[in-house]
Amino acid sequence: MSLRGLRAGWSSERSERPTKEAVAGIYRIAEFDLLLVLESRNPVTHDFCRACLVKGYADGVPMPKRESVDDYFAQLNDVQRPHLETLRALSIDADLEAREELKWNLPVYVRGENTNLWMLQNFKNHCSLRFSPPFFATQKVAVEAAGYGAGEGFIKLPYDRELPVELLKALMQARVEEYENTGA
């Protein structure tokens, strides 16, 4: 399909951008972003997919490719670095047997053959400590009681707040204990 054909797939009367929930995929074509937008044209099938090009929709979305965990930390900006370096030090102290690996372009702390204990994530205004959703579901009440945002599997740590070090240590220790008890 040509770029002209893809552009035609997005009607000129719909000038707003599709919501993030509606975007099934973003693919870069020159300076344009090809969006696969899931829309329901037919209330019975609910499976119509529309492709459209929008200039600059995903600007800033792709993370720079990291070569190693050390490279990940080297590429952090001055706002992100203090929180993430503290999380790194806590992670190393929490389990001396865990390996630090780069997976999904992020630092992941791994035990055994290939069991992910947790991962660190950086964003513009916060960072996250991410666990498996089943494990984190048992910890979410404590995180929210401490006044921190939590999603499915992660605690949200804004850069403009001090890290809750004792809470983070407790979360990491609970995850290490779960691994030692279950092997998963």
| pLDDT tens readout for residues 56-85 | 444 444 567 899 999 999 999 999 999 999
For residue 55, give both structure tokens.
Answer: 């200039």
Q: Does a structural domain hold residue 62?
A: no
Same-domain check for residues 123 and 173:
yes
Same-domain check for residues 16 and 78:
no
CB neighbours of residue 128 within 10 Å: 21
Q: What is the mean pLDDT of the chain?
A: 78
9 vs 124: CA distance, rounded Å: 32
Q: Does a structural domain hold residue 36?
A: yes
Q: Does a structural domain hold residue 112?
A: yes
Same-domain check for residues 36 and 112:
no
> Which domain-ending residue is among 32, 55, 78?
55
Q: Does a structural domain hold residue 61?
A: no
The residues, any chain, with a CB within 8 Å of residue 1's CB and separated by 6 or more, are 51
What domain count does the chain have?
Answer: 2
Which domain CATH number covers 176?
3.90.1150.200
pLDDT in tens, 2-11: 334 333 343 4
Same-domain check for residues 176 and 119:
yes
Q: How many CA atoms lie within 13 A of 129 on its CB side?
A: 30
Percent of the chain with pLDDT over 70: 66
* Domain hosting residue 33, numbered range: 3-55
Identify the band that residue 19 occupies on the pLDDT scale cut at 50, 70 and 90: low
The beta strand positions in the chain, using DSSP E, are: 23-29, 32-39, 48-55, 99-103, 106-111, 115-122, 126-130, 149-151, 154-158
Decide which of 61 and 92 is more confident. 92
Same-domain check for residues 100 and 149:
yes
The residues, any chain, with a CB within 8 Å of residue 115's CB and separated by 6 or more, are 179, 183, 184
Q: Does a structural domain hold residue 173?
A: yes
Q: Are 155 and 148 in contact (CB under 8 A)?
A: yes
The model's pTM: 0.67
Same-domain check for residues 17 and 88:
no
Rg of the chain in Å (alpha carbons): 20
17 vs 32: CA distance, rounded Å: 14
Question: For the residues 127-150, what does the mean pLDDT come to?
Answer: 96
Same-domain check for residues 77 and 44:
no
Same-domain check for residues 73 and 153:
yes
Percent of the chain with pLDDT over 90: 62
Q: Does a structural domain hold residue 64?
A: no
